[in-house]
Amino acid sequence: MSDKVKEKKPLWGRIIFAAFLFTAVLSAFLFWATKNMAGEEGALNGATTMIAAIISLCLSILLGIMVFIRFLRGKTVAGGLFLTTAASTAVFLGASQFIGVLLPPVMGAGLAMGENPAVAGGGVSLMIMLAQVGLFALWFGFLLLTIKFYVRPVGKINKYLQKIRDGEKIGRVRLGKSKQYKEIAETLREIGERYGTDED
């Protein structure tokens, strides 16, 4: 039974990765198609295509996060922290540039409704600024959560070491799902079994 489960894991990972690539390419194509549409009919079709592109992009981001998490589990703590920080920074910079592509259609819709061009332009500039601030807040919060996620098991390691020092026998050790933390947990368990004593 366990062998069957192990065989399914790589296949599931490949399916997620293939779905991520498909949605990423689809979203890029839809955004490119939206940019080349002109005229009233093109504007209507462009709005529908833009919604489909945004949905595809959200799915791509979700699947990409799943693929990235599976990839990070095989890395060391330092390597995982570096890759997470680098990837989140790249996404933040890309999203900041993407805002400038996404908001002009909104400005065009405002002008089509008879708004003053200066007012519409000022509104778009304000929207871009607020979106940039929101993106920065999300990016900074994500970095803090990432650092906390990687550093939190250090406190658990200290507690297990104190138990071993006090002569307590430790059973199952849970630190994290990354490869390096799993190796540390196994080492702590072996040390605990060797030097710990059962309390009767």
DSSP assignments along the chain, one per residue: -HHHHHHHHHHHHHHHHHHHHHHHHHHHHHHHHHHT--HHHHHHHHHHHHHHHHHHHHHHHHHHHHHHHHHHTTS-HHHHHHHHHHHHHHHHHHHHHHHHHHSHHHHHHHHHTT--HHHHHHHHHHHHHHHHHHHHHHHHHHHHHHHHHHHHHHHHHHHHHHHHHTTBPP------SSHHHHHHHHHHHHHHHHH-B---
The Cα-based distances of 181 to 31, 53, 86, 177 in angstroms read: 41, 39, 21, 7
The pLDDT value given to residue 199: 45
How far apart are the C-alpha atoms of 143 and 64, rounded to whole Å?
Answer: 17
CA contacts within 13 A on the Cβ side of 36: 6
Residue 119 CA to its chain's centroid (Å): 36
Retrieve residue 128's tokens.
Answer: 């871009």
Domain ranges of the chain: 1-72
How many CB atoms sit inside 10 A of residue 141's CB?
10
pLDDT mean values, one per 10 residues, the chain (200 residues): 44 82 84 64 64 84 82 81 85 76 56 49 68 84 85 86 81 80 86 63
Per-residue pLDDT tens digits for 52-87: 888 888 888 888 888 887 887 778 888 888 888 888
The pLDDT value given to residue 8: 45
Q: What is the pTM of this model?
A: 0.60
